[in-house]
Amino acid sequence: MSTPPSALIEALTARGIVDPAQQARLRAHDATPWWLQLLQTLAAWIASLLILSAFMLPMAIVGDSPPARALAGAVLCGAALWLFRRGHLFTMQMALAFSLAGQALLVSAVGERWDAFFDGGRQWAVVGAMVAAGMMLPRTSVLHRTLCGLLLLFDIGHLLGRGAALEVYGIALTAIATLAWLSRRQWAAGRHGALLGAAARAAALAALAVPAAIALRGEALWGLLLAAQSGFAYRASVLSIGVALVCGAVGGWLLRDAAPRTRSLALAAGLALALAAQPAPGLIVAAALFLAGVHAGHRLLAAVAAVAAVLYLGEYYYRLDTTLALKSALLAASGLVLLGLRRLLGRPARERT
């Protein structure tokens, strides 16, 4: 059973995690119905779009130059930081819109044209990473910090390019995200807990997106070929092997207190599942983040990882690189392994009760 919001606020206040001012803001936010919050958010974005339109039109008339765009972007980012300090839902949503528009203007100031994002250069990625990191550091909303973290990680991925570097980047993101959520209790109540939480959310979302980005580019680095003599080869990429090792490490850490025989059998089952899912690395990433999210008690992360697993599973099933017979066999084997793993891990719990 979940803890009521009012009781949770009282517990945080009693432990000194929330001061009286924050307690008052949390109670005011808790008392606002969800439909009213939705209406306030919609009104804030409409007002922000109108203000931005009135702000951009004079700039376009006076002169569309990189210095003008940089100045306008700096003004919008400064206004966003000021609005974030107000602490109200309406102003924080306006600040989010201003911040994203300001960052886009600052990045576009790198080139002579507005479409500098798509010219294939890397200067805009460097500027974008610096701006996103700078806007992520001040105390703002959770959503804003998470979006800034995603922009930062996107720019870093663009700087790395394609091929093996991007696959290693995906492995690193998966490892960092799972490690962060497995150790959530150590940093959540700390001084920089909000910033670390936003970084952990951004890393998890970016890790889930990297396999899709590699698949769309069609440049996965194939590192293992099994049954290469057949018409359809069973292939595993560097990304698949790396995230399988991360997923195995997560499972081993979660089972560190289990009996040796149970831990060995569970790790063997996890290894078999990872081998069966090698053609779909996104599924392995989703499984690792799902385990980390459940352990950390973050329901939203676990739900997002579960949805991503379903999407990657559907994408793999309708892919045309292997036969349907092989896909069906792999999916059936994965299901049997999961059922056996559930029975194995559930047996000690029943024995204790």
One domain for residues 103 and 203: no
CA-CA distance, 231 to 305, in Å (whole number)? 33
One domain for residues 105 and 183: no
Residue 327 carries which side chain, given as an amino acid letter? K
Is 77 among the domain residues? yes
* 278 three-class SS: coil
Name the one residue in this structure whose structure tokens are 């590192």. Answer: 223
Element containing residue 236 per DSSP (H, E): strand 234-237
One domain for residues 119 and 198: no
One domain for residues 147 and 201: no
Is 15 among the domain residues? no
CB 280 within 8 A of CB 341: no
Q: List 225's β-bridge partners, or say none.
A: 235
In which band, very low, low, confident or very high, does the pLDDT at 171 lie, cut at 50, 70 and 90?
very high
One domain for residues 115 and 171: no
In which band, very low, low, confident or very high, does the pLDDT at 153 lie, cut at 50, 70 and 90?
very high
pLDDT (0 to 100) of residue 229: 36
Element containing residue 226 per DSSP (H, E): strand 222-226
One domain for residues 349 and 249: yes
Please, what is the average pLDDT of the chain?
77
Alpha helices, DSSP H only, in the chain?
A: 5-14, 20-31, 34-62, 66-84, 89-108, 123-136, 142-160, 164-182, 184-187, 193-217, 238-254, 260-276, 281-296, 299-317, 324-352
CB 273 within 8 A of CB 337: yes
- How many domains does one find in the chain? 2
Token representation of residue 135: 């806007």
| pLDDT for 313 beyond 90 | no
One domain for residues 283 and 135: no
Is 6 among the domain residues? no
Token representation of residue 269: 């089952």
Is 244 among the domain residues? yes
Is pLDDT larger for residue 175 or for residue 165?
A: 175
CB 133 within 8 A of CB 148: yes
One domain for residues 260 and 132: no
Domain boundary, last residue among 101, 127, 160: 160
Pick left, alpha or beta for residue 19 (phi over 0 → left; psi -120 to 50 → alpha; otherwise beta).
Answer: beta
CB 261 within 8 A of CB 151: no
Token representation of residue 91: 């102003």
pTM: 0.77
One domain for residues 172 and 280: yes
- The angle at the Cα of 232, spanning 229 to 234, to the nearest 5 degrees, equals 85
One domain for residues 173 and 308: yes
Domain boundary, last residue among 143, 160, 177: 160
Domain boundary, last residue among 133, 160, 187: 160
Cα 193 to Cα 48, 131, 143, 175, 345: the distances in Å are 29, 21, 14, 19, 32
Is 188 among the domain residues? yes
* Residue-number span of the structural domain to which 115 is assigned: 32-160
Residue 53 carries which side chain, given as an amino acid letter? S
Residue 136 carries which side chain, given as an amino acid letter? M
pLDDT (0 to 100) of residue 292: 92
Tens digit of each residue's pLDDT (9 = 90 or more) over 221-274: 433 333 333 334 445 578 888 888 888 888 888 888 777 777 777 777 777 777
Is 2 among the domain residues? no
Is 320 among the domain residues? yes
Task: Give residues with Cβ within 8 angstroms of 291, minimum separation 6.
Answer: 178, 247, 250, 251, 254
One domain for residues 332 and 299: yes
Tens digit of each residue's pLDDT (9 = 90 or more) over 74-132: 999 999 999 898 878 788 888 888 898 889 888 888 766 555 555 556 788 888 899 99
One domain for residues 279 and 295: yes
Is 236 among the domain residues? yes
CA-CA distance, 219 to 222, in Å (whole number)? 9
Closest CA to 284 of 184, 210, 202, 197: 210
CA-CA distance, 129 to 132, in Å (whole number)? 5
